[in-house]
């Protein structure tokens, strides 16, 4: 399947790849959709899918959706685990029609025979687990990612991760354990300090938020009940880069660093963890090459994500063995495999480059076949180009170009009326350098889920009206636009009821008022009124009574 050119090319592409409507199939036989995963991507897909036209089966080892942005709060009991989860069956029963849910793990995908193999009862290590397989017409892979240890020795054995609700609950128990161990009589001061040294590896949003949350927990609650050891507590963040929160605006990352410094949270930048043993972390200081042994009570490893083994396996089957992460095209179809879609953290969109298609873009835009492109001709197609190649829009914004015609200025700064193919190539030559893969966030996963549901919902319209237009005349655009991501901003809670936020339009805000914005945004994003009530209740409870510190 070629993926060239403008939207006009995309049309034929979508029909050959996506639209598999078999005309002589009986109407009553619904297409089978199998969804793997009930996280952000899977749940948002299920919420928007019109299930009256599909036979939907969902497989996930956890029968609930977890609101991951509040996981760091669960580690310290600011919010209870039960408050951030919603049973899948609650979510799907609200929909008219039927969705079947199986609590099981997918072990293998067989794209040849359109079948997935699953096993139930793995997680609890039950004696009798069950194997079964499911047939699909369309498969949606939304299984997220797993923690990435970069094969660092000892990490699997000795570190905590913060990916799942169970992880957060384990961390909470371990923090209390560390305090209980540190107050036992007869220990040396050194031993107490070691027990109360909390280390976070990774200075990204999750690591930083957890560090802040832990600091608050210790200083607002624990020091009151363990007064004898309060001076021995230390929180350290180890970051391999030069700054923490380096995906955020510089103002935010330095605000965070300053706040941490005032709070006494140590930030070790430019340090790499070489290995972890049962009592020490072996750290290499990049600038000097020196190795340091850091004693610890608890380590939380939060340095990025990796691909799940069964997805790696699937990648080998579809010719993606050389990639780090499962690739889809801009319509979220897995490359090299029909009828399989992947959304969220388990996949990444392989954005087509402008320069690969530059000749066909030029040809399509040059309506009068004059061999040159006038500003008017270009203006007519630029909107399509931007949808197909979002990097063009980013380029214009980053270069502070208000209009596309600014791309065509000559050396004196005058706008050229006509450009030939060489000038056109030159004008767009830097555009692809703006391409960035989408971040692994809930925002991306849920927008992708909603997008995919919309696509599937519309297929059905095509099916019931085979002669009907594929094109929505009203918008004048193709029905199946490629997935477009809309960034709504990001938050970084920094503890002490302060937060930083980066909002669209280069807007940065920091401090206490931002924390209130955070509270209201996260309350409104809850999947149900039930969890909203519980979460807000937890916040109020903490405010009045403090956090619960029982193990």
Partner that binds at residue 69, options ligand FAD, Mg ion, none, CB closer than 5 to 8 Å by kind? ligand FAD
Around Cβ 263, how many Cβ atoms within 10 Å? 17
Residues binding Mg ion: number (CB under 5 A): 12
Question: 532 and 525 in contact (C-beta within 8 Å)?
Answer: no
Taking the complex as a whole, the smallest distance from the CB of residue 77 to ligand FAD amounts, in Å, to 15
Q: State the binding string over 13-42 for Mg ion (x if CB under 5 A, else -).
A: ------------------------x-xxxx
Question: 240 and 267 in contact (C-beta within 8 Å)?
Answer: no
- Determine how β-strand 146-147 pairs with β-strand 291-295: unpaired
* Type and span of the H or E element at 32: strand 31-36
Residue 419 near Mg ion by CB under 5 A = no
Residue 329 near Mg ion by CB under 5 A = no
Taking the complex as a whole, the smallest distance from the CB of residue 372 to ligand FAD amounts, in Å, to 45
Locate 62 and state its tokens.
């956890």
Partner that binds at residue 36, options ligand FAD, Mg ion, none, CB closer than 5 to 8 Å by kind? ligand FAD
Residue 424 near ligand FAD by CB under 6 A = no
Q: Which one among 59, 76, 99, 142 touches Mg ion, defined by CB under 5 A?
A: 142
- Measure the CA–CA gap between 423 and 378, rounded to whole angstroms: 13
Interaction with ligand FAD in 485-504: which residues (CB under 6 A)?
A: none
Around Cβ 97, how many Cβ atoms within 10 Å? 14
Q: State the binding string over 102-141 for ligand FAD (x if CB under 6 A, else -).
A: ---xx-----------------------------------
Looking at the Cβ atoms of 5 and 37, the one nearer to Mg ion is 37
Question: 271 and 238 in contact (C-beta within 8 Å)?
Answer: yes
Residue 72 near Mg ion by CB under 5 A = no
Residue 482 near Mg ion by CB under 5 A = no
Residue 441 near ligand FAD by CB under 6 A = yes
Instruction: List b or e across 188-223, with b for residues whose CB sees 16 or more CB atoms inside 10 angstroms.
Output: eeebbbbbbbbbbbbbbbbbbbbbbbbbbbbbbbbb
- Measure the CA–CA gap between 306 and 156, rounded to whole angstroms: 14
Q: State the binding string over 157-196 for ligand FAD (x if CB under 6 A, else -).
A: -----xx---------------------------------
Locate 531 and state its tokens.
């969890």
Question: 76 and 35 in contact (C-beta within 8 Å)?
Answer: no
Please identify, among the stretches 2-10, 33-41, 179-187, 348-356, the one whose residues bind ligand FAD according to the rule CB under 6 A.
Answer: 33-41
Interaction with ligand FAD in 205-224: which residues (CB under 6 A)?
A: 206
Partner that binds at residue 366, options ligand FAD, Mg ion, none, CB closer than 5 to 8 Å by kind? Mg ion
- Measure the CA–CA gap between 444 and 123, rounded to whole angstroms: 28
Please identify, among the stretches 22-30, 66-74, 199-207, 459-467, the one whose residues bind Mg ion according to the rule CB under 5 A.
Answer: 66-74
Partner that binds at residue 61, options ligand FAD, Mg ion, none, CB closer than 5 to 8 Å by kind? ligand FAD
Residue 60 near ligand FAD by CB under 6 A = yes
Q: Which one among 285, 435, 440, 462 touches ligand FAD, defined by CB under 6 A?
A: 440
Question: 167 and 160 in contact (C-beta within 8 Å)?
Answer: yes
Which phi and psi (to 5°) does residue 453 adopt?
Answer: -60, -45
Instruction: List b or e across 473-499, with b for residues whose CB sees 16 or more CB atoms inside 10 angstroms.
Output: eeeeebbbbbbeeeeeebbbbbbbebb
Residue 370 near Mg ion by CB under 5 A = yes
Which phi and psi (to 5°) does residue 145 adopt?
Answer: -130, 170
Locate 121 and state its tokens.
């009862």
* Type and span of the H or E element at 424: helix 421-428
Locate 40 and state its tokens.
């952000």
Residues binding ligand FAD: number (CB under 6 A): 33
Partner that binds at residue 202, options ligand FAD, Mg ion, none, CB closer than 5 to 8 Å by kind? none
Looking at the Cβ atoms of 65 and 389, the one nearer to Mg ion is 65
Residues of this chain that bind Mg ion (CB under 5 A): 37, 39-42, 66, 68, 142, 348, 366, 368, 370
Residues of this chain that bind ligand FAD (CB under 6 A): 36-42, 59-62, 68-69, 71-72, 105-106, 142-144, 162-163, 206, 308, 310, 344-346, 440-443, 445
């Amino acid at each position: 399947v070629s993926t060239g050119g403008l939207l006009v090319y995309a049309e034929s592409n979508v029909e050959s790849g996506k639209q598999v409507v078999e005309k002589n199939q009986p109407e009553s036989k619904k297409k089978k959709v199998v969804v793997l995963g009930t996280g952000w991507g899977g749940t948002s897909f299920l919420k928007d899918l019109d299930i009256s036209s599909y036979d939907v089966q969902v497989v996930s080892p956890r029968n609930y959706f977890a609101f991951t942005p509040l996981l760091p709060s669960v580690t310290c009991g600011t919010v209870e685990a039960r408050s951030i989860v919603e049973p899948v069956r609650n979510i799907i029963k609200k929909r008219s029609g039927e969705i079947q849910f199986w609590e099981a793990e997918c072990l293998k995908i067989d794209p040849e025979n359109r079948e997935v193999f699953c096993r139930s009862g793995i997680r609890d290590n039950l004696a009798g687990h069950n194997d079964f397989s499911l047939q699909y017409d369309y498969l949606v892979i939304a299984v997220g990612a797993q923690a990435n240890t970069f094969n660092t020795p000892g990490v699997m054995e000795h570190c905590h991760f913060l990916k799942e609700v169970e992880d957060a609950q384990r961390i909470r128990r371990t923090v209390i354990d560390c305090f209980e161990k540190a107050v036992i009589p007869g220990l040396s001061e050194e031993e107490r300090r070691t027990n109360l040294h909390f280390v976070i590896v990774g200075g990204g949003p999750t690591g930083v938020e957890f560090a802040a949350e832990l600091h608050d927990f210790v200083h607002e609650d624990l020091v009151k009940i363990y007064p004898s050891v309060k001076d021995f507590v230390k929180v350290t963040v180890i970051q391999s880069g030069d700054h923490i929160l380096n995906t955020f605006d510089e103002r935010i990352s330095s605000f965070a660093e300053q706040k941490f410094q005032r709070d006494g949270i140590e930030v070790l930048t430019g340090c790499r963890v070489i290995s972890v043993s049962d009592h020490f972390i072996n750290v290499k200081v990049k600038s000097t090459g020196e190795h340091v042994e850091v004693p610890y009570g608890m380590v939380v490893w939060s340095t990025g994500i990796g691909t799940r083994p069964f997805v790696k396996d699937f990648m080998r089957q579809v010719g993606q063995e050389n990639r780090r992460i499962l690739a889809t095209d801009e319509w979220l179809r897995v490359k090299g495999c029909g009828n399989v879609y992947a959304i969220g953290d388990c996949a990444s969109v392989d954005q087509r480059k402008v320069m690969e298609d530059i000749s066909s873009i030029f040809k399509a835009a040059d309506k009068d076949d004059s061999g040159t492109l006038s500003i008017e001709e270009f203006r007519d197609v630029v909107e399509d180009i931007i949808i197909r190649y979002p990097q063009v829009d980013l380029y214009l914004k980053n270069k502070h170009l208000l209009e596309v015609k600014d791309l065509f200025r000559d050396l004196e700064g005058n706008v050229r009326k006509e450009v030939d193919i060489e000038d056109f190539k030159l004008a767009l030559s830097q555009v692809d350098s703006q391409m960035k893969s989408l971040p692994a966030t809930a925002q991306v996963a849920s927008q992708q889920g909603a997008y995919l549901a919309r696509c599937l919902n519309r297929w059905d319209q095509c099916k019931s009206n085979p002669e009907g237009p594929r094109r929505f005349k009203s918008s004048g655009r193709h029905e199946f636009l490629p997935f477009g991501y809309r960034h709504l901003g990001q938050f970084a809670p920094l503890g002490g009821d302060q937060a930083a936020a980066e909002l669209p339009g280069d807007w940065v805000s920091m401090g206490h008022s931002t924390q209130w914005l955070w509270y209201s945004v996260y309350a409104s994003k809850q999947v149900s009124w039930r969890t909203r009530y519980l979460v807000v209740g937890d916040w109020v409870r903490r405010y009045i009574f403090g956090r619960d510190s029982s193990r």
